[in-house]
Amino acid sequence: MPSPQRIMLTPGEPAGIGPDIIAQIAQQAWPVELVVVSDPDLLLERAKAIGLPLQLSLCHAEETPLPHQAGRLKYVSVPLNEKVVPGKLNPANAHYVLRTLELAAEWCLQKKADAVVTGPVHKGVINDAGIPFTGHTEFFAQCAGVKDTVMLFVVDQLKVALATIHVPLARVPLTLTKDSLQTTLTILHDSLQKYFRISSPRLLVCGLNPHAGEGGYLGREEIDIIEPVIAALRKQHYHIDGPLAADTIFTPMYLREADAILAMYHDQALPLVKYIGFGNAVNVTLGLPFVRTSVDHGTALDVAGTGKADAGSLLAAIRLAIQIT
């Protein structure tokens, strides 16, 4: 029998709920080996604070992965720079956060692990430490030496990708080009085939402007950028339609015909995704040489260490990582 998958977990911001939800999901058995990249004392202290039993054992890369046992957890050690107080951000631990991400990526790139599942980070405190950081997606792309990635959100049967990611709204029209849009649609199409086993994906594309530009009266990005790219990909036998008005594309009439939707910018899609499935949605980075999934929520500093954190999104992210690897 083949060895089970090895899934790397990163708790994210140490003062947030990442350590809490890691301790929660460790309480059940898994058919894969879960390995958390963290300061072990942080995990033990947080598990104790929320009243959960947890036993840790150091993971060695050369070991054959074994299925996760309830109440136990393998770990790769990264020491904190300063002791953590739940709910209190500390820029001194920003380098610790990034080091956990680096190690998780390294294990996957070196084929020591099969996927990375990430907990929530706090971008602001990392930048406060003097480190330019816009998000996991861009960070892992840099680690892997990959130029182009795509952010995909999965909630139930709905799959929504983004043409631009963490870009100020005023810069979205400048960031959206024919080349970038074609690359995004190609990565999305190929990843749906590879990871979700959809042989001929059906894609719908949002317009950028209200009413998809209203024939140019509300903006020309649809005419000058989006429509030519869609036409070119149709000639390559892509099943793709658009640009469609974003205020109607998410209605049942359209969703029945789509395997995935491409939105033009972050807040064109995310309000709907989080309304439908907040706490159960999963963020997937497409285009990396390894699988990366993530929770759909933030650090929730106000409930860190209280036992009130909901691990639903982390559970969904691990299950999806297992499925697509």
User: Binding residue per annotation — 292?
Assistant: yes
Burial of 145 (C-beta count, 10 Å sphere; 0-12/13-18/19+): exposed
pLDDT, tens only, 131-167? 999 889 889 999 999 999 999 999 988 999 999 988 8
1 pLDDT exceeds 70?
no
Cβ pair 110, 10 in contact under 8 A: no
Determine the pLDDT at residue 166.
84
60 annotated ligand-binding residue = no
Number of helices and strands in the chain (H, E): 12, 12
Same domain? For 10 and 125 the reply is yes
Residue 166 labeled ligand binder: yes
Collapsed DSSP state (helix, strand, coil) of residue 223: helix
Same domain, 27 and 101: yes
Mean pLDDT value across the chain: 95
Task: Quote the domain boundaries for residue 254.
Answer: 147-280
State whether 262 and 198 are in the same domain.
yes
What confidence score (pLDDT) does residue 279 get? 74
Helices (H), 110-214: 123-128, 136-144, 172-175, 178-196
- Do 263 and 165 lie in one domain? The reply is yes
| Listed residue (100, 129, 98, 88) closest to 8, CA to CA | 100
Helix (H, G, I), strand (E, B) or coil at 269: helix
Residues 137 and 36 in one domain: yes
Amino acid at 269: A
Do 141 and 3 share a structural domain?
A: yes
Please indicate if the annotation marks 137 as binding a ligand. Answer: yes
Among candidate residues 262, 280, 298, the one where a domain is terminated: 280
d(CA 166, CA 110): 28
Whether 38 shows a pLDDT value over 90: the answer reads yes
Q: Which of 145-154, 193-202, 278-287, 288-297 is predicted with the least confidence, judged by mean pLDDT?
A: 278-287
What are the b/e assignments for 192-229, b being 16+ CB within 10 Å?
beebbeeeebbbbbbbbbebbbeeeeebebbeebbbeb
274 annotated as belonging to a binding site for a ligand: yes
136 and 153 housed in the same domain: no
At 151 the pLDDT is 94
Residues 70 and 156 in one domain: no
| Co-location of 236 and 180 in the same domain | yes
Is 268 in the same domain as 243?
Answer: yes
220 is in an annotated binding site: no
pLDDT at 191 over 80: yes
Length of the chain (residues): 325
Per-residue tokens: 233? 């990909």
- Whether 190 and 241 share a structural domain: yes
Q: What is the CATH number of the domain that holds 244?
A: 3.40.718.10
How far apart CA 273 and CA 261 sit, in angstroms, is 12
- In this predicted structure, what is the pLDDT of residue 276? 86
Find how far residue 180's CA is from the centre of its chain. 20
User: Phi/psi class of residue 242: alpha, beta or left (left: φ > 0; alpha: ψ in -120 to 50)?
Assistant: left
- Known binding residue 297? Answer is no
**pTM of the model as a whole:** 0.91
The verdict on whether residue 266 carries a ligand-binding annotation is yes
94-109 and 136-144 are packed helices; what angle lies between their axes, rounded to 10 degrees?
A: 50
Do residues 133 and 207 share a domain? Answer: no
pLDDT of residue 156: 83
pLDDT bracket for residue 204 (50, 70, 90): very high
Domain count, the chain: 2
